[in-house]
Structure 1
């Protein structure tokens, strides 16, 4: 017997990055299954791309898209928005509040307080775990997390790494807290057809310290193909280190070997490289690794966060972070003899496809919603 449709509010701060990619896919799939979905987002983030992304979700948000102030850092909106979101949930008859990230998680769980027929779930997406330990923001939000755990009916961890980190820094949740990995849509498992003039390597990510783009440039500098040709790289992204990386490219003499694309769509960019490189120093469960591997592209990655969970039996091939020599050695091995990695990449798709699909992800989260509501109702009935 099919479960009944639910009225669900997804709460997040900004429609950006992997967090929004997750909410976007989840919203579309839940709506297609008959649930009524609404979004709550920050009204302080307003640009053409943000409006375009939200407008594209209009057909999947029967409960509307609602804007409230959610400052990136602690601000006045943090005192008023959670209660405004609770009032909105009352008006809409929301049964499930699902908060994403630190700010979304606070709003979703405050909206559950004092409401008998409503549950609150939370996905960290790094969130509070990303704040620098000992900082004011870290202390405030870790304290809030401890207090809000008693109003939390379920926590979704996108990786086992995120779950372990949460337990270490905040504590063992009393509620159900499964690992439900991010997933990709069906078309993303179509093979990536590389451009005839593809570079040797491709990078996609923000130009900031945690992504290791500087380590990648130093690793690339000495690399040569067997015929002596210098190795080449295509890099897509932008961020606070862009100026610094441009200077590093110049100082290493890589101007003719590195093509900087700026911000660009993932799949067409992946087709511009023969092998993907992920030199990150810190991650949770990055979509970009899935996007490359699902299309059959060889992926050279550092062993950080939950990345090893994406590689299964190939995880021993991941390289240590912040080590340009180790990263360069793995890249040189691909240049010298690409076929072993190409064969592994083709087999890797078979590992990823049943474990990391949007359908599998939504199955797990949808079932968690229903179990949380059933537990809540049993608890009320026993009072």
Structure 2
């Protein structure tokens, strides 16, 4: 039988933006409420004022504190020094559970945890890919190198936690059938996030919200907006919400197309505030794992047009009518124009809310995670 003793849980990830950060915040809050002690280690160079505010809001739940170290996205010589600093921090906090998220966080905690196990610690080592290195192409040398590292680190992993079945299948395809035990635990939302979001009085037609990088498709959104205007036969308005180093490039493209007055750029903000700005949410990602933004949009009652990538079909259903191919601005434009000319089409295609709410709950997610933590922590050996 699994114990319910309080645990010392330490999460490590690189980038405190987007879905990974959201996932960790939700787990930290729910687990702290359940009596566990939680801490975070993450990058110090990523994020801005919005992320700082999110850290401020989560601090009351972080009994083990917040540690920020400079972690680069790509592999480099600096990783050695950061790995040493991470180990020292982990050792001082004496966690029962180390949970790494994404490739870089997963590597740090498994190396640190394995070193602690040498000295008789019973720390349990968890890893959630969240896409991470799984986004790389198997045909590239970089991809092959990352997958080889993932396979090596697997021998120092007590549990793999996948947030979507797509992520599990991709892991098996690119890295191999997991040798470590694994669990599938879908992301979930808090109760208040299932309240409908009302549009502001001057709401625009379409919203893009997410990281400003090509992987998430803001470039496709821009091109599709221009083409959708042609198909709809009238000017359309949009808003793009998010931060990232490529943001000036997207603004320059909007200006070059003469669309800067109809498609505005906004800094990152809470998703529900952004949802109120537009009637339809567009998710043009080229790759995803289990994106919170789709969960949040559905829970808020917003119609969604999305690419059929990653775990998104596990949220919207495999036959969702609002799917478009990734990287295809023409198809996306066609769906956007259809929502303008037929306002009932997309809302009627969205998932049934009661079933959706029962499956994607943050409390359920945290309880399932806690049960696996307890199970694994009890079973660890030095």
What TM-score does the superposition give when structure 1 sets the normalisation length?
0.88
Does the CA-based 8 Å contact 2:18-2:211 persist in structure 1?
Answer: no
Match of 1:191 in 2: 196
Does the CA-based 8 Å contact 1:211-1:281 persist in structure 2?
Answer: yes
Report the CA distance between 1:360 and its aligned residue.
1.7
Q: Does 1:263 align with 2:276?
A: no
Match of 2:359 in 1: 355
Deviations 1:196-242 (A, max 9, x none): 22112111123322222232233222435999542221221243443
Q: Structure 1: state its 5+ residue gaps.
A: none
Of residues 125, 128, 142, the one that matches 1:123 is 128
Does the CA-based 8 Å contact 2:308-2:326 persist in structure 1?
Answer: yes
Higher relative contact order (CA 8 A, sep 6+): 2
Report the CA distance between 1:333 and its aligned residue.
1.8
Match of 1:208 in 2: 213
Does the CA-based 8 Å contact 1:233-1:273 persist in structure 2?
Answer: yes
Does the CA-based 8 Å contact 2:50-2:268 persist in structure 1?
Answer: no
Residues 157-166 or 322-331, more deviating:
322-331
Match of 2:342 in 1: 337
Tell me the SS of whatever aligns to 1:164: helix
Q: For the structure 1 residues 318 and 241, does the alpha-carbon distance in structure 2 shift closer, same or farther, using more than 3 Å as the test?
A: same
Match of 2:380 in 1: 376
Does the CA-based 8 Å contact 1:186-1:357 persist in structure 2?
Answer: yes
Deviations 1:40-75 (A, max 9, x none): 223555865554433332211112223445333323
Residues 262-271 or 185-194, more deviating:
262-271
Does the CA-based 8 Å contact 2:322-2:346 persist in structure 1?
Answer: no
Match of 2:41 in 1: 40
Match of 1:364 in 2: 368
Report the CA distance between 1:310 and its aligned residue.
0.9
The CA distance in 1 between the partners of 2:245 and 2:48, in whole Å, is 19
Tell me the SS of whatever aligns to 1:214: helix
The CA distance in 1 between the partners of 2:87 and 2:247, in whole Å, is 40
Q: For the structure 1 residues 372 and 210, does the alpha-carbon distance in structure 2 shift closer, same or farther, using more than 3 Å as the test?
A: same
The CA distance in 2 between the partners of 1:15 and 1:318, in whole Å, is 29
The CA distance in 2 between the partners of 1:324 and 1:214, in whole Å, is 9
Report the CA distance between 1:297 and its aligned residue.
0.6
The CA distance in 2 between the partners of 1:77 and 1:341, in whole Å, is 48
The CA distance in 2 between the partners of 1:281 and 1:255, in whole Å, is 24
The CA distance in 2 between the partners of 1:244 and 1:13, in whole Å, is 24
Deviations 1:335-361 (A, max 9, x none): 12212322344x543332122221121
The CA distance in 1 between the partners of 2:79 and 2:245, in whole Å, is 26
Q: Structure 2: state its 5+ residue gaps.
A: none
Tell me the SS of whatever aligns to 1:111: helix
Match of 1:164 in 2: 169
Q: How does 1:41-56 map to 2 (within 5 A)?
A: 41-43=42-44, 49-56=50-57
The CA distance in 2 between the partners of 1:42 and 1:253, in whole Å, is 37
Residues 71-80 or 31-40, more deviating:
71-80
Q: For the structure 1 residues 69 and 207, does the alpha-carbon distance in structure 2 shift closer, same or farther, using more than 3 Å as the test?
A: closer
Residues 266-275 or 350-359, more deviating:
350-359
Q: For the structure 1 residues 233 and 139, does the alpha-carbon distance in structure 2 shift closer, same or farther, using more than 3 Å as the test?
A: same
Does the CA-based 8 Å contact 1:14-1:45 persist in structure 2?
Answer: yes
Does the CA-based 8 Å contact 1:214-1:245 persist in structure 2?
Answer: yes
Number of residue pairs matched?
Answer: 377
Match of 1:322 in 2: 327
Report the CA distance between 1:132 and its aligned residue.
5.3
What TM-score does the superposition give when structure 2 sets the normalisation length?
0.89
